[in-house]
Amino acid sequence: MNMVPTIGIETHVELNTNSKMFCNCAVVETENPNESLCPTCLGLPGALPVPNLKAIESITMLALSANCSITKNGMFHRKNYFYPDLPKNYQISQFDLPVGVNGSLEIILNETKETVEIERVHMEEDTGKSVHKGSGRIDSATSTLLDFNRSGVPLVEIVTKPVIKSSKEAVSYIEELRQLVIDLKISEGKLEKGNLRFDANISVAKESDNELGVKVEIKNMNSLRSLEKAIDYEIKRQTKLIESNEVIIQETRHWDEDKEVTSSMRSKEGSADYRYFSDPDLPNMILTDEFIDNIKKTIPTLPSQKRDKLSETGLSNSESNYLSKSEEWIYNLFLETQKLTNDTKSTFNLITGELQGQLRKAGMEKLPEWLTSEKLSEIIKMINENKISFTSGKEILTNLIQNEMSPSKYAEDNNLIQDNDSDEIAKIVKNVIDSNKEVVERVKDGEEKLVGFLVGQIIKSSKGNINPSIAKDLLLKEL
Amino acid sequence: MKKDIDIKSVAKLAAINLTETDEKKFEKDLNIILEHVDALSKMNIEDEEINIHPLGEILNLREDVSSEFLTHDEAMSNSPETEDGHFVVPPSLD
C-alpha cells in the first residue's frame, strides 16, 4: 500500500523593527523581563493600537517577493483566545483580507527546481513569553512566569498550501524563506533566537485515495533538524495507524526534542473557534498603488534571481543554491572572480572549499579588504596554467589571508613555481629510475601502485617544483 | 425565523458558566439578535463600495520610532504576585 504524505508549513517571522507593531515600545533583546512595556502591549483597558509603517512596508516587500497578490483594501481582525501570555485575550491578526495571497517560492531540492505555493502572508503581533514552573511544559506547570517584552513585536505569518511532500522539501522551503527575509533585510532570520518559528500540518493518505488524510499539527520544532525529524516521525506514525486500520485524530501534537517523538497536547480549549471579528480600533488599511510601487523599487536581488545569475556561469542548481544562501560578499566574490578566470569549477571550489575553510580556521568572518577577486583569480590562473601546484595555491592563500601581497611574487620568492621544462625534468626522471632499479622492475611486472612512489621520488628530488602530471607522463614514457 | 444556536458551546467559547435558566434566556436573546442581523442580508448592496469600518476612516500608520512609556516598576505595580521581574499566574491548564 503506497502512502502519500502531504505537508503544509506555517512560519512566523519576527520583523527587525525598532518599535513594536502597535505601540512605540522598543523591540528589545534583554534578559531582564518586562522592561519595554506600555498600556497597549500590556493590554490595559483604553489603550489604542497604532500600526507601525515600517512593519507594513516589510510585509508588503515580503509578499511581493513571494509572488503574492497584494490586498489593497485590507484590515485587521481580532483572534480571540484565552492564554496568560496574551493579556488582551485577543491577538491582533488578519483573517480574510491578509496583505498577500496566492504566492509561490522557488526552492532547490537536490538538483531540481520546485515551487512551493503560498496561500497567504499576513501581519500580526507576537505574544509574551511564558516560563512554566515545574516541568517546563504547560500541561504540568505549577505556576507560570510572564515576560511581556515580546508582546506586540511585529510578526509576519506565511502559510503554504498543502503541497510539500517530504521533510527534505520542508527544510529546503524554510531555508529559502529564511534567506529571503535576510536578503530583504526585514528580519535577522536567526532560528536559534526565535526570529523564525514554524509549525507543520501533516497528513498521510493512501495513494489510491483522491483526498487528503486527517491533518495533524506539530508544534515546538526549534531547528531545521527537529523539523526534519518531527515530520519523518509523524509520517511514520500516521502510516502505521492507517496500515492497521486505526483512526487518526485531528489534533495538535508536541515535538519532544529529547525523546524524538510527537505527543498529543492536552489543551483545555481544544479546537475552540477563535471568533475572529474586525478590530474596531483599526480602520481599513489601504495600500495604494503608489505605496506598492515604491516598495517594489526597494526590493534587492532575490535568492532565486541570484541562482539564475549563478547558473549562467555553469554552476549546477545545488551549487547555485549554496552560493545564493551564502553571505552577500561570498556571492559577489564568486561572480567577480569567475568573470576574471572564466573557470567556474575551480573558482567555486577554491572559494567554497579552501577560502571559506581557511577563513573559518583563522576565525575570520569577512575577507580582508586586500583579498580581491583579482588576487584570487591570479592564484587560480597559476594553478590552471600548471605554474604552481594546488598545494602551493593553498599555501599562497593562507598567507594572503594574513598579509597583503602579490600571489605571483610570493610564488617566485618562495620557489613555488613548477619546473615545466621537460629536459630538466627528464634528467631527474632518469636519475630516479637509475637509483630505484628494483622498484622499476616491479612496476614493469605489473605493480602499478608503485608508479605513485616513483612520481613522489621525482617531486622530492625537484624540491616540489615539478608539475606532477608532466613528471608522471615522462616517467611512464621512460618505462 | 428560528436559528439553531448551541448555547452551551457559545458559553464555553466565552468561558462563562450559565445556569439552565440563563441558557434559556440567552438562547432567546441571541435568536432575536440573529434575526435582526439577518435582515441585513436581504439588503441590495450590489452597487455599494465595500466599507469595513463604520466611520469609513483610513488607517493611520506611525513612523518606526521607539520611546519609553512605563518603567519596569510601574509596569509591575498592579500585579498581585511577581517573581524575578515576572508576572506570576496560576497554571493555565488542568
A106, three cell numbers? 522557488
Q: How far is B52 from chain A (nearest CA, A)?
A: 6
Confidence of residue A243 (pLDDT cuts 50, 70, 90): very high
Best mutation target among B8, B12, B37, B86 (most A Cβ atoms within 10 Å) is B86
Chain B hits for A37, Cβ within 8 Å:
69-70, 72, 75
Q: Sheet containing A141-147: which strands, arranged edge to edge?
A: A129-134, A141-147, B86-89, B82-83
Spatial distance between the Cα atoms of A246 and A204, rounded to a whole number of angstroms: 13
Options 1.10.3720.10, 1.10.10.410, 3.40.50.180, 3.20.20.70; CATH of A422-478: 1.10.10.410
A234, three cell numbers? 509523524
- Size (chain B), residues: 94
Chain B hits for A53, Cβ within 8 Å:
61-64
A197, three cell numbers? 518559528
CA B43 to chain centroid, in Å, comes to 26
Confidence of residue A452 (pLDDT cuts 50, 70, 90): confident
Measured CA distances, A98 to A280, A286, A333, A445, B57 (Å): 17, 12, 39, 78, 19
CB A40, CB A22: distance < 8 Å: yes
Candidates A131, A142, A286; nearest CB to B91: A142
pLDDT of residue A26: 97
Closest by Cα among A105, A87, A100, A99 to A45: A87
Q: How far is A97 from chain B (nearest CA, A)?
A: 11
**B10-34: average pLDDT:** 89
Helix (H) or strand (E) holding A142: strand A141-147
pTM of the model: 0.85
CB atoms within 10 A of CB A387: 18
Confidence of residue A227 (pLDDT cuts 50, 70, 90): very high
**A138-149: average pLDDT:** 85
Would you list the domain boundaries of chain A? Answer: 3-294, 326-413, 422-478
Burial (CB count within 10 angstroms: exposed 0-12, middle 13-18, buried 19+), residue A342: middle
The per-residue pLDDT for range A331-353, each reduced to its tens digit, is 999 999 999 999 999 999 999 99
Question: How is residue A265 annotated by DSSP?
Answer: -
Whether A135 has a pLDDT exceeding 90, the answer reads: no
CB A232, CB B58: distance < 8 Å: no
CB A96, CB A277: distance < 8 Å: no
What is the Cα gyration radius of chain B?
A: 23
pLDDT of residue B74: 96
Decide which of A169 and A449 is more confident: A169
Helix (H) or strand (E) holding A79: strand A77-80
Confidence of residue B56 (pLDDT cuts 50, 70, 90): low
Spatial distance between the Cα atoms of B20 and A361, rounded to a whole number of angstroms: 74
**A318-329: average pLDDT:** 94
Contact A35 B64 (CB under 8 A): no
pLDDT of residue A438: 85
pLDDT of residue A270: 45
Contact B86 A145 (CB under 8 A): yes
Spatial distance between the Cα atoms of A169 and A8, rounded to a whole number of angstroms: 11
Tell me the torsion sign for CA atoms A381, A382, A385, A389. negative
pLDDT of residue A422: 67
pLDDT of residue B53: 66
CB A235, CB A205: distance < 8 Å: no
User: Which of the given ranges, A159-163, A364-368, A450-454, B16-20, has the highest pLDDT on average?
Assistant: A159-163
The single residue listed with the C-alpha cell 496583505 is: A99
Spatial distance between the Cα atoms of A95 and A157, rounded to a whole number of angstroms: 11
**A238-252: average pLDDT:** 91
Confidence of residue A98 (pLDDT cuts 50, 70, 90): very high
Confidence of residue B48 (pLDDT cuts 50, 70, 90): confident
Whether A271 has a pLDDT exceeding 50, the answer reads: no
The per-residue pLDDT for range B65-92, each reduced to its tens digit, is 999 999 999 999 989 999 999 999 988 7
The per-residue pLDDT for range A28-64, each reduced to its tens digit, is 999 999 999 999 999 999 999 999 999 999 999 999 9
Decide which of A435 and A79 is more confident: A79
DSSP string over A226-261? HHHHHHHHHHHHHHHHHHTTPPPP--EEEEETTTTE
In sequence order, what are the beta bridge partners of A198? Answer: A11, A221
Q: Are strands A196-206 and A216-221 parallel, antiparallel or unpaired?
A: antiparallel
Supply the mean pLDDT for chain A.
Answer: 91
pLDDT of residue A432: 85
pLDDT of residue A362: 87
Candidates B53, B67, B72; nearest CB to A24: B67
Burial (CB count within 10 angstroms: exposed 0-12, middle 13-18, buried 19+), residue A218: buried
Asked if the C-beta of A48 comes within 8 angstroms of chain B's C-beta atoms, the answer is no
Chain A hits for B72, Cβ within 8 Å:
32, 34-35, 37
Question: How is residue A147 annotated by DSSP?
Answer: E
Confidence of residue A412 (pLDDT cuts 50, 70, 90): confident
Confidence of residue A424 (pLDDT cuts 50, 70, 90): confident
DSSP string over A354-377? IIHHHHHHTT-SS--TT--HHHHH
Decide which of A465 and A312 is more confident: A312
Cα maximum dimension of chain A: 99
Interface of B with A in 20-59 (CB under 8 A): 50-59
Asked if the C-beta of A403 comes within 8 angstroms of chain B's C-beta atoms, the answer is no
Global ipTM: 0.80
DSSP string over A384-435? HTTSS-HHHHHHHHHHHHHS---HHHHHHHTT---B--HHHHHHHHHHHHHH
The single residue listed with the C-alpha cell 580582508 is: A368
pLDDT of residue A268: 40
pLDDT of residue A464: 67
**A368-392: average pLDDT:** 90
Spatial distance between the Cα atoms of A277 and A143, rounded to a whole number of angstroms: 31
